A and B are shown apart, each in its own frame.
Chain A
Amino acid sequence: MNAFVLGFSLALLAIVCLAQLLTLDWRWRLGYLSAIYLLAFVLITASWPLELAAVKLVSGWMATAVLGLTQLNKPESEVSDADDFPQSLLFLSMAAGLVIVLASGAAPAMVAWARQFDPGVVWGGLFLIGMGLLHVGLSSNVFNNGLGLLILLAGFEVIYAGVETSILVAGLLALLTLGISLVSAFLMQAGEGQRP
């Protein structure tokens, strides 16, 4: 992959993930998630043929659409009530900075394991995994949980694409992505109208 395209994609990925972490509006968060899938697709094309990498993009966008439609169907009061995500900009920025430091430290070590890894792609994958873990760990809200798991899985797929080119695995991972979004959608709708 062209070094400029890779560098630009990684920089964009960092900005998009940070913006997603700092925003409170679920619409923006899902918009950023679809951008993350687009950038993950770009990173995956470094290892996979375009048509196979497109599977990740399509499944990711479908998962985003499922979450978006579910949020749209929820009453606005429930959407805002349930969001217990931390709102301190300083805390979130520091947490994201920690993820960047960890990914930057781990990526060269991982590349040292196997030569087929591209350092930039591994950095992108590890960064996404870290950001996904942040989303999962910082909130007990079902929407954030699903969002975090999807980002984490996207990060894993970016790295795993470097070592595995099986169509079956691509299909199963796409199904898993859709499964997570559908289950999250189900859990978001559950107990609607009931107070916890």
Chain B
Amino acid sequence: MSSPLLWILSPALLGVGLLFYRGKYQWLPTLIAGIASLLLAWIAWQLPIGVVMRLGTLNLEISPSLVVLGRSFTLSRAHMPLLTLLYLFQALWLFGGYLARPGVLFTPLTLICLALLVAALAVQPFLYAALLICMAALLLIPVLLREKAKPGLGLQRYLQFQVFAVPFILFTGWILSGVEANPSNTMLVLRASMLLALGFGFLLALFPFHSWIPLLGGESHPYVFGYTVFFLPATGMIFALSFFDRYAWLRDADFNAPLLLAGGLMALLGGLWAAHERQLGRMFGYAAVLLSGYCVQAIGLGGAAGVQALFALLIGQGLAVWAWATALSRLPQQEATTPEGLTAQATSQPLTIAVLLLALGSLAGLPLLGVFHGRLAVLDETMVQAPWAALAALAGSLGLLAAAYRLLAATLAAQGQRAKGWVEEAQPADNSKASDLQHIYIWGFAAFSAILLFGSGLFPQLFLSAVPELAALFSQLVR
């Protein structure tokens, strides 16, 4: 048994198998996939790699490598914390799908998608990861497209940009080997840097290649969109760190300032656009641009501080994005909801809207909530290295906070109108379904979200304790 078989092939095969499920119980594939994800997370957490274990008379060893067509896929002991985290998040998204109803294809396709993303982290040489990430991105398209809907501009641009990234990154890899042999050739270094920037610009939807994110947010199911803007950039960021970890000249070259500024600009623009956006789906998209901006800043910090800040951000943001996506999926008009729509739904969906606001507050980086610690670590270091970039990012956070305030004001407006007794005249309340206060699952979701968001904010030693182990994957960067 080898680790790539366990964490790549087995979930991929399970996903393929679940694609063919046509039974009466639609929740069954989700349950099976969720349990399998939890099991894989537990194995990654508990079982050692490359050590012979005795199970009675049976000797079991999980070897770290698998050779496929002359190249190896390696998941060593250093990968285990990351695998645990990825499969835990996968389980969270799968179980959340029970409430969000993202469609029957969500469970199998996301399982195969995660297998491809793990393969991207395992493949040697690591440059081939660009191909596997692109395939994972393609795989999400059938779920991103709403049922009976025509593909919009956002989805097409998403497809284009993910494919555009592949040539740039693969070419960069080839040029980088030349730079390694001759690091004094400044022209070669410049070309490699430009190709690298373009490749990751397309892959991670960095400014100015971010346009598909808000467009897609406004046209696809919020839950699938949330999954896409969490898992793809997270894997892409880790892939980007691999470049810095692998190539000494990249660490030595002074890319910190451009990355900090680019990240600050993204956070600023994302936050400001979110503050002006009326449609919640697109607002979610702009928030995702802001999140990517902070992650880029974390990479720009360099060294152990940067890597640890990136993982702290990813954990906090992952929880908040999940809560936001699930809550938005519960609203009747989902991504098309506006602040006025929230006013109308405030009476029927108080719990869902509360979670939505809490998640948005967390994404904005409010203290006591999960994202705050990672945000603080990034801003603290950035303020020393590039104060303007830190201020720009902070302004972006304030923009997202302003968006949260607008939604809060819209929600509270409904309470005020109801108190005055003219709510029906001002905005017809959505009476299509009963209040979510009557649903035990929504109570459970709200309580669980509050525990995750407040828990990760109030007890970082519990939720972020694995960050140093996660960062240890990049031995050269954290040295």
Instruction: Identify which of B132, B148, B191 contacts A194 (C-beta below 8 A).
Output: B148
Question: Which B residues touch A191, using CB under 8 A?
Answer: 148-151
Q: Which of B151, B153, B166 has the most CB of A within 10 A?
A: B151
| Contact call A179/B68, Cβ cutoff below 8 A | no
Contact with B along A97-119 (1 / 0, CB 8 A): 00000000000000001100000
Given contacts A176-B134, A180-B163, contact A164 B150 (CB under 8 A): no
Min CB distance, A55 to chain B, in Å? 11
How distant is A30 from chain B, measured CB to nearest CB, in Å? 19
Q: A172-B132, A176-B135 are in contact. Are A142 and B163 (CB under 8 A)?
A: no
Which of A153, A179, A186, A196 makes the CB contact (< 8 A) with B135? A179
- B70–A166 touching, CB < 8 Å: yes
Q: Would A145 and B159 count as touching, CB distance under 8 A?
A: yes
User: Which chain A residues border B150 with CB–CB below 8 Å?
Assistant: 190-191, 194, 196
Q: A183 interface residue, CB < 8 Å from B? A: yes
Which B residues are in CB contact (< 8 Å) with A168? 68-71, 128
Q: Tell whether B408 is near chain A: CB-to-CB under 8 Å.
A: no
- A180 B167 Cβ-Cβ under 8 A: no
Contact A187 B69 (CB under 8 A): no
Q: Are B135 and A142 neighbours in the complex by a CB distance under 8 Å?
A: no
Q: Is B426 interfacial (CB-CB < 8 Å)?
A: no
Which of A113, A145, A163, A171 is in CB contact (< 8 Å) with B191? A113
Q: In the assembly, what is the distance between CA of A12 and CA of B87, in Å?
A: 50
Does B332 interact with chain A (Cβ within 8 Å)?
A: no
- Taking a contact as CB atoms under 8 Å apart, the answer to whether A187 and B155 are in contact is yes
> Any chain B CB within 8 A of the CB of A19?
no
Complex Cα–Cα for A175 and B112 (A)? 15
Residues A140-176 near B (CB distance < 8 A): 140, 142, 145, 149, 152-153, 156, 160, 163-164, 166-169, 171-173, 175-176
Q: Which of B54-62, B138-146, B226-234, B461-469 contacts A (4 or more CB under 8 A)?
A: B138-146
CB contacts (< 8 Å) of A172 on chain B: these are 128, 131-132, 135
Complex alpha-carbon distance, A12 and B178, angstroms: 34
Tell yes or no: B156 within 8 A of A by CB: yes
Interface centre among A163, A183, A194, A196 (most CB of B within 10 A): A183
Tell whether, in the assembled complex, residue A175 and residue B170 are in contact, meaning their CB atoms are under 8 Å apart: no
Is B148 touching A160 in the complex (CB atoms < 8 A)?
no
Contact of B131 among A113, A173, A180, A190 (CB under 8 A): A173
Assess whether A22 is interfacial by the CB under 8 Å rule.
no
Chain B CB count within 10 A is highest, among A114, A142, A169, for A169
Question: Is B441 an interface position by the 8 A CB rule?
Answer: no
Measured CA separation A171–B128 after assembly (Å): 11
The answer to whether residues A149 and B170 also contact, given A140-B153, A171-B69 and a CB cut-off of 8 A, is no
Q: Count residues of A near B (Cβ-Cβ below 8 Å).
A: 32
Contacts of A129 in B (CB 8 A): 167
Contacting residues, chain A, for B71 (C-beta < 8 A): 166, 168
Check if A13 is an interface residue, CB within 8 A of chain B.
Answer: no
Give A176 to B170 CA distance when docked, in angstroms: 14
Q: Does B174 sit at the interface, judged by CB under 8 A?
A: yes
Select A160's contact among B134, B149, B170, B178, beta carbons within 8 Å. Answer: B170
Q: Are A190 and B149 in contact (CB under 8 A)?
A: yes
Which residues of B from 6 to 58 have beta carbons under 8 Å from A?
A: none
A196 to B170, CA, bound (A): 37
Let me know if A136 is at the binding interface, CB within 8 A: yes
Contact B131 A169 (CB under 8 A): yes
Tell me which residues across on chain B come within 8 A of A171, comparing CB atoms. 69
Q: Which of B132, B155, B166 has the most CB of A within 10 A?
A: B166
CA distance A175 to B138 in the complex (A): 11
When distances are taken between beta carbons in the complex, the residues of chain A under 8 Å from B135 are 172, 175-176, 179
| Residue contact B178 to A114, C-beta cutoff 8 Å | yes
User: Across the interface, do A167 and B163 meet the contact criterion of CB distance under 8 Å?
Assistant: no
Q: Decide if B171 is an interface residue (CB 8 Å cutoff).
A: yes
Once the chains are docked, how many angstroms separate the CA of A7 from the CA of B156? 36
Is B160 interfacial (CB 8 A cutoff)?
A: yes
Shortest Cβ distance from residue B179 to the other chain A in the assembled complex, whole angstroms: 11
A156 contacts B178, C-beta separation under 8 Å: no
B145 touches A187 (CB 8 A): yes
CA distance A149 to B162 in the complex (A): 11
- In the bound complex, do residue A160 and residue B153 qualify as a contact, i.e. CB atoms below 8 Å apart? no
Contacts of A173 in B (CB 8 A): 131
A183 lies within 8 A of B191 (CB): no
- CB pair A145–B156 under 8 Å, yes or no, is yes
- Chain A hits for B151, CB < 8 A: 142, 187, 190-191
Q: How far is the CA of A18 from the CA of B128 in the complex (A)?
A: 33
Contacts A160-B174, A168-B68 aside, 9 further interface pairs with beta carbons under 8 A come to A140-B153, A142-B156, A145-B160, A156-B167, A166-B69, A166-B71, A168-B69, A180-B159, A183-B159
Residues of A within 8 A of B (CB): 113-114, 129, 136, 140, 142, 145, 149, 152-153, 156, 160, 163-164, 166-169, 171-173, 175-176, 179-180, 183, 186-187, 190-191, 194, 196
List 22 interface pairs A-B (beta carbons < 8 Å), by A numbering: A114-B178, A136-B160, A142-B151, A145-B156, A153-B163, A156-B166, A156-B167, A167-B69, A167-B70, A168-B68, A168-B69, A169-B128, A172-B132, A176-B166, A179-B138, A183-B159, A186-B142, A186-B145, A187-B141, A190-B148, A194-B149, A196-B150
